[in-house]
Chain A
Amino acid sequence: MLPGFKLTLGFTLFYLGLIVIIPLSAVFWKTSSLTWHDFWNTVTLPVAVASYRLTFGASFFAALVNAFFGFIVAWVLVRYDFFGKKLIDALVDLPFALPTAVAGITLASLYAKAGWIGRWLEPLGIKIANTELGVFVALTFIGLPFIVRTVQPVLEDLDPELEEAASSLGANRWQVFWRVILPMLSPALLTGFTLAFARALGEYGSVIFIAGNIPLKTQITPVVIMGELDMFDYAKATAIAVVMLVASFILLLGVNILQWWTNRHNTTNLA
């Protein structure tokens, strides 16, 4: 029997409690100082409701765009050979490694009227900086690696014999893709989508510079919370934070159930 169980479990629980559990519980303690009526009025303020709509909407579309392009990137990286592939494979994780404030000012400058990308969109009448589209662009950037990194390993492990069997039975490439490959990849795709969506919901640093700070228009929920904090209205900030926290916990639960279901699904397939 190995030693150290009590010591390591004890330290793990102590540190977890001190750093995570106790501070997080302060959110619910602070909210309980509000009456139900005040809580409801705060979380349904027009600024808050507009911010939920923008945060959830932009996160959803950013994750959707990433699901499409991320899938293509994963496919290209696994199936084809081309110049610079290894470099690109390593760079896919850049949004994980690049601090959000750096990403934020970079995207803001690129998509500004005179920016490298913004100047080409300006004549077309497309404005990105200080609009909802800016929020979408920033959330697409930070969600990019999630789909690639969840689909890539599954695609690598995909047994080519299944594709061969399908095509020898007369399926064309397009049918093989829709009927054989995509169904096997869909759990990974869905997990990646949920992870990118969950990450985008809470994002702050990369969004604020490009989105500006226009109430009811480009304020995401974390910015609304920040605004209340700047006015030292902690009760209001906390009430809106509770809404965000509950949404993220539900998503976290969803990801766990999804992964559990995928694992079970895979083992039954093997059996």
Chain B
Amino acid sequence: MTPAATTLHTPHRVAHRQPTTEAPWVRRLLIGTALGFLSLFLFIPLVSVFVQAFAKGVGFYIHTIGDPMALSAIKLTFIAAGIAVPLNCVFGVCAAWTIAKFDFPGKNVLLTLIDLPFSVSPVISGLIYVLVFGAQGWLGLYMNADNPRLPWLANWLNDHNIKIIFAVPGIVLATIFVTFPFVARELIPLMQAQGRTEEEAARVLGASGWQTFWRVTLPNIKWGLLYGVILCNARAMGEFGAVSVVSGKIRGETNTIPLHIEALYDDYNFTGAFAVASLLAFLALVTLVLKTWVERKNAALNEI
């Protein structure tokens, strides 16, 4: 660089930095406002969950978590998430493959329909399954009909006393519904951006469809997939409204962790409620850490 360029450079920098930033007092005011707002709505609530969880000591905490009712709720939550997450994961990969790799009419309609469960209130998400499988719903009417079509099916359902609402299957279905779009929504834009050239090259070189998927597509989408699974799981384990409609809230049988928290709270056992809630708050923190980590991995991948 010539000396002339350096001398020209310095005043230029001063001249253009000044008008595109704010006075220090404005900056401090804005940072202060942001921190104040976030403290009120994020930090204080988060800290208070853990403080109140241990308000009666570690012994009470362990006692509450180790209670058979709490353990049964934890088990049921794991069952519901353990079924809903893998199913929605398979669906997400299928939907993303068909939408991102092929052209067909009605694609935008399909995209909107996949997003639909996000815009349905949790209470309504539960209600729709009551209308399908409840005693006054389609299944109930069918099982109690005088002349049902397929009498053997109606008999089989009655003989085996198939119960979906106010039982575990209803909880699983409601969980699947509310977490339906998570994986698909992460994968569709990602796979659309990646295009299909790499897969087509693999095919030309003689790879089978499955080989192409496992060796080319999956390594490309693994972080996006993990991201979707993390968000899907967090919502599956924490869902309250939808599950509360279909569960019937039988303690020790059809209560998930969030429903158990409500039950303890309604019993005025606030410390107990917060002890169990701290498990879910901890899960939320783990989710945020994983999410940040995956986002960094993704950013690093995009830079290469």
Task: Report A's interface with B, CB cutoff 8 A.
Answer: 1-5, 7-9, 11-12, 15-16, 19-24, 26-27, 29-30, 69, 72-73, 75-77, 79-80, 82, 88, 90-107, 109-110, 116-117, 140-141, 144, 160, 163-164, 167-168, 172-173, 176, 198, 201-205, 209, 221-222, 225-226, 229, 232, 234, 237-238, 241, 244-245, 248-249, 251-252, 256
12 examples of A-B residue contacts, CB within 8 angstroms:
A15-B94, A19-B180, A23-B132, A30-B131, A106-B49, A107-B45, A109-B270, A164-B20, A204-B121, A205-B240, A222-B241, A251-B119
Chain A residues lying within 8 Å of B94, measured Cβ to Cβ, are 7-8, 11-12, 15
Report yes or no: A2 in contact with B44, Cβ–Cβ below 8 A: no
> In this complex, what residue of B is CB-closest to A103?
B45
Q: Are B31 and A80 in contact (CB under 8 A)?
A: yes
What 20 additional pairs, Cβ within 8 angstroms, besides A7-B94, A73-B34? A4-B213, A16-B113, A20-B180, A27-B128, A69-B34, A72-B33, A79-B21, A91-B42, A94-B288, A97-B285, A98-B284, A100-B122, A101-B280, A106-B48, A202-B122, A222-B123, A222-B241, A229-B127, A238-B127, A245-B124
How close is B269's CB to chain A, nearest CB, in angstroms?
11
Asked if residues B127 and A225 are in contact (CB atoms below 8 Å), the reply is yes
Whether the pair B240, A23 counts as a contact (CB closer than 8 A) is no
Question: Could you tell me which residues of chain B, from 244 to 284, have a CB within 8 Å of some CB in chain A?
Answer: 244-245, 257-259, 261-262, 265, 270, 273-274, 277, 280-281, 283-284
Which of B3-11, B62-70, B155-163, B196-204 is found at the contact surface with chain A?
B196-204
Counting residue pairs across A and B whose Cβ atoms lie within 8 Å, the total is 272
Residue of A nearest to B199 (CB): A2
A201 to B118, CA, bound (A): 12
Shortest Cβ distance from residue B278 to the other chain A in the assembled complex, whole angstroms? 8
Tell me if B48 and A110 are in contact (CB < 8 A).
Answer: yes
Q: What residues on B are CB-neighbors of A103 within 8 Å? A: 45
**A20–B91 Cα gap in the complex (Å)?**
13
Q: A24 → chain B, closest Cβ, in Å? A: 6
**Interface contact A237-B127, CB-CB below 8 Å:** yes
Residues of A within 8 A of B283 (CB): 97
Q: With contacts A26-B132, A163-B19, A245-B120 known, is A19 near B177, CB below 8 A?
A: yes
State in angstroms the CA–CA spacing of A160 and B18 once bound together.
Answer: 12
Stretch at the interface among B134-142, B144-152, B218-226: B134-142
**In the docked arrangement, what's the CA distance between A61 and B115, Å?**
25
- Take A99-B238, A249-B119 as given contacts and tell me if A92 and B30 are in contact as well, using a CB distance cutoff of 8 Å: no
Contact partner of B122 (CB less than 8 A), chosen from A160, A172, A222, is A222
Q: A27 to B21, alpha carbons, bound, how many Å?
A: 54
